Amino acid sequence: MTIIKLKYDYLLPLVIKAIYPDKKDQEKVKKRLEDYGKKDYQPAPQRVRLAILKFAYENPENLDELVKAACSEYRDILYFAETPLSMELWGKDEDLKKEREYQKKDDLNYINWLEKLIAPQRKKQHTTQV
């Protein structure tokens, strides 16, 4: 992600709740995600954990495999989760304008995915507070 800054500490529990509605599953998922970030060479744990969840969204049962993959090569998880369009340009001689266009689209797609997941929870919180 190049254009946006996300509040991972805020988003992570909301995304977990959206993908895994059962409270017992949520606790298991939180614990499993904590396997990433224990080592010094595993940077940006909250960011990588959110990227893992982006993949788990389609297949929640693949969480263990995704965490293992992130622990061995976190960059693959980040790149595929955050910049799938931009990756099409890697290794090709493309102009900077097209690269920025793809980055913006990738950012927008990521934000839209997050909004789709957490909007119902935020709406529910808001109506409960009123």
Q: What is the pTM of this model?
A: 0.86
More confident residue, 128 or 44: 44
- 20-58 confidence digits (pLDDT tens): 999 999 999 999 999 999 999 999 999 999 999 999 998
Produce one character per residue of 32-41: b if its CB has 16 or more CB atoms within 10 Å, e if not: bbebbbeeee
- 70-92 confidence digits (pLDDT tens): 999 999 999 999 999 988 887 77
AA identity, residue 98: K
30 vs 37: CA distance, rounded Å:
12
Residue-range domain boundaries for the chain: 8-129
